[in-house]
Chain A
Amino acid sequence: MIAWAGDSIISSLGFTTEECYRSVASGQSGIRLYSSFMGLPEPQMASLIDRERLADSFAADSFAAVNPCSGGYTALEKAAILSVGSAAAAAQVDLSDPDVLFVFSSTKGNVHLLDEGERQAGRDHIYLWYVARLIAEHFKNPNEPVAVSNACISGACAQLVAMRELESGQYGCAVVVGVEMLSKFIVSGFQSLKALSPEPCRPFDAARAGLNLGEAAATIVYRRVDSEDEVSSGIALQQGAIRNDANHISGPSRTGEGSFRALQALLRGVAPGDVAFINAHGTATAYNDDMEATAITRAGLQATPVNSLKGYFGHTLGAAGVLESIISARALANGTALATHGFKRGEKEPPVNVTDKNTHTEKAYCIKMLSGFGGCNAALLFKYVKEKSNTCRKP
Chain B
Amino acid sequence: MEELILQLKQEIIKVLNLEDVKPEDIADDAPLFGEGLGLDSIDALELIVLMEKMYGIKLQDPAQGREIFKSIRVMAEYIHANRSK
Contacts and interface: CB of A to CB of B under 8 A. Distances in A.
Chains A, B in direct contact (C-beta < 8 Å)? yes
Interface of A: 192-194, 248-251
B82 to A, nearest CB: 19
B49 A192 contact: yes
B49 A194 contact: no
Contact of A192 (B40, B41, B45): B45
A248 B43 CA distance: 12
Contacts of A194: 45, 48, 62
Interface string B64-81: 000000000000000000
A250 B49 contact: no
Given A192-B49, A193-B45, A248-B41, 10 more contacts: A192-B45, A194-B45, A194-B48, A194-B62, A248-B40, A249-B42, A250-B41, A250-B42, A251-B40, A251-B41
Contacts of A251: 40-41
A251 B43 CA distance: 12
A194 B51 CA distance: 15
Contacts of A250: 41-42
Contacts of B49: 192
> In terms of DSSP, what is the predominant structure of the interface of chain A?
loop
Nearest to A198: B60
Contacts, number: 13
Contacts of A249: 42
A194 B42 CA distance: 10
The 8 closest A-B pairs by CB, nearest first: A194-B62, A251-B41, A250-B42, A193-B45, A194-B45, A192-B45, A192-B49, A248-B40
Q: How large is the interface on B (under 10, 10 to 19, 20 to 34, 35 or more residues)?
A: under 10
Nearest to B46: A192
Contacts of B41: 248, 250-251
A193 B62 CA distance: 9
13 contacts: A192-B45, A192-B49, A193-B45, A194-B45, A194-B48, A194-B62, A248-B40, A248-B41, A249-B42, A250-B41, A250-B42, A251-B40, A251-B41
A249 B49 CA distance: 19
Interface in B30-73: 40-42, 45, 48-49, 62
Contacts of B62: 194
Nearest to B48: A194
Contacts of B45: 192-194
A194 B40 CA distance: 15
A253 to B, nearest CB: 13
Residue among A194, A249, A251 with the highest chain B CB neighbour number at 10 A: A194
B67 to A, nearest CB: 16
B68 to A, nearest CB: 14
Nearest to B62: A194
B47 to A, nearest CB: 12
Contacts of A193: 45
A193 B45 CA distance: 7
Contacts of B40: 248, 251
Contacts of B48: 194
A14 B48 CA distance: 39
A207 B25 CA distance: 41
Nearest to B44: A194
Nearest to B65: A194
A335 B56 CA distance: 55
A361 B52 CA distance: 51
B73 to A, nearest CB: 25
A193 B48 CA distance: 10
A151 to B, nearest CB: 15
Contacts of A192: 45, 49
B16 to A, nearest CB: 15
B54 to A, nearest CB: 16
A250 B49 CA distance: 17
B18 to A, nearest CB: 17
A44 to B, nearest CB: 15
A250 B62 CA distance: 15
B43 to A, nearest CB: 11
Contacts of B42: 249-250
A392 to B, nearest CB: 51
A193 B41 CA distance: 9
A250 B41 CA distance: 8
Nearest to A248: B40
A108 B45 CA distance: 22
A248 B49 CA distance: 21
A192 B42 CA distance: 10
